Amino acid sequence: MHIRVGDTVKVIAGNDRDVSGKVLKLDREAGKLVVEGVNRVFKHMRRSQRNPQGGRLSKEMPIQISNVLLVCPACNQATRTGVRFTSDGGKERVCKKCNANAGTLAPPRTKAKPAAKS
């Protein structure tokens, strides 16, 4: 899974197709994410001390990760991503269209210190 919170994604399936937005929340176990302004529903709230006015509140609901594509920051197009290993041993996301770096996945590896002989 190569999508993180804060990434810009484009919805490719569902009622909100072709809408771009920022990832607000990510649930890796369920395979869902919440995108800003996508899959909005009304939640009917009764009056209470927390919500004195009550009424219909609009909120975003999760959608499947398979229904979105990452928007590449370099070419500004929705694209699939791949993984590339850097020379220092780190991992980075790669845009499949322009082959540009789309963020790091793992930090560079540090060499382990040799064990002390006793």
Query: pTM score, two decimals?
Result: 0.79
pLDDT tens digits, one per residue of 49-100? 988 888 998 999 999 999 999 999 999 999 999 999 988 888 999 999 999 9
Give the whole-angstrom CA distance, residue 95 versus residue 74.
9
| Residues 53-66: tens digit of each pLDDT | 889 989 999 999 99
Which two three-digit tokens encode residue 65? 């990760």
**Largest distance between two CA atoms of the chain:** 72
Domain ranges of the chain: 1-48+55-71, 77-110
Choices 2.60.40.1930, 2.30.30.30, 1.20.1630.10, 2.170.190.11: CATH for 1-48+55-71:
2.30.30.30
